[in-house]
């Protein structure tokens, strides 16, 4: 616990570290049990290893030069999505383009104004119509520049950009890969989260070795609320 506190900085005034601890734990456990752990360590040695042993400190720019680490993070977020659904209110009638969502080849489906539509990253990121071996954890899919994963990433990160009031961001709405949401409410802390996740993994790679004694647990999408009472160390875990 103290190790994670030290990595993530001091906790907020009332309670434990932020909600991003849960995605961290999933990513760390998954990568630690994967066969690519040694490859990740070798990537560190090749890029940051010192002649006499040990590693040099990393800079912000260095975080962009580790393709295997990036692939491990993205594949874990694909397989264990931090969010399971994205809901939007329909403000005007929307014709659905021909494709997987259309009811037939010669019909046009219209989502009426006033309805609520939902996109589920938990489904689209595991859809076998899109992803080869969809339920298998395979970071190498992100290293193939011409593969589907690379295309999905480009759609998510480099599609039409809009300034919703906090700088230009990619809408990402055309991609089946939606780990941080999409559109106006896409997570504004996405880049910080990716940076922090990468730093945690790198730090653990360099300093310790962990193993799970049993199989990795399956995703649990039960919605729960952590209530923190200021001035108290106790938490109330309340089902929603």
The per-residue pLDDT for range 173-182, each reduced to its tens digit, is 889 999 998 8
Give the model's pLDDT for residue 13: 41
Q: How far apart are CA 82 and CA 219, in angstroms?
A: 10
Give the model's pLDDT for residue 190: 86
Predicted model pTM: 0.73
Count of beta carbons in the 10 Å neighbourhood of residue 2: 6
Give the model's pLDDT for residue 147: 92
Average pLDDT in the chain: 76
Give the model's pLDDT for residue 14: 38
Check residue 117 and give left, alpha or beta (phi > 0: left; psi -120 to 50: alpha): beta
* Cβ contact 93:53 at 8 Å: no
200-to-27, 82, 137 alpha-carbon distances in Å: 10, 17, 20
* Cβ contact 84:122 at 8 Å: yes
Instruction: Write the pLDDT tens digit of every residue in 60-102.
Output: 889 888 999 999 889 988 988 888 888 889 999 988 776 655 5
């Amino acid at each position: 616990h103290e190790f994670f506190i030290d990595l993530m900085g001091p906790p907020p005034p009332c309670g434990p570290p932020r909600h991003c601890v849960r995605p961290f734990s999933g990513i760390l456990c998954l990568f630690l049990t994967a066969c690519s752990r040694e490859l990740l360590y070798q990537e560190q040695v090749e890029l940051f290893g010192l002649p006499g042993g040990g590693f040099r400190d990393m800079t912000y720019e260095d975080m962009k030069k580790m393709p295997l680490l990036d692939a491990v993070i993205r594949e874990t977020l694909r397989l264990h999505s931090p969010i399971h659904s994205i809901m939007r209110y329909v403000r005007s009638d929307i014709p659905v383009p021909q494709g997987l969502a259309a009811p037939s080849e010669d019909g046009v489906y219209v989502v009426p104004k006033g309805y609520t539509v939902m996109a589920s990253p938990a489904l689209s990121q595991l859809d076998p119509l899109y992803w080869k071996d969809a339920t298998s954890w395979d970071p190498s899919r992100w290293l193939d520049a011409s593969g589907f994963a690379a295309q999905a990433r480009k759609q998510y990160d480099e599609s039409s950009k809009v300034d919703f009031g906090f700088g230009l961001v990619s809408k990402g709405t055309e991609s089946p890969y939606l780990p941080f949401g999409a559109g106006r409410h896409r997570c504004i802390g996405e880049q910080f989260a990716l940076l922090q996740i990468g730093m945690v993994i790198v730090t653990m790679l360099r300093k310790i070795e962990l193993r799970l004694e049993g199989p990795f647990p399956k995703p649990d999408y039960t919605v729960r609320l952590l209530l923190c009472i200021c001035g108290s160390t106790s938490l109330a875990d309340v089902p929603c």
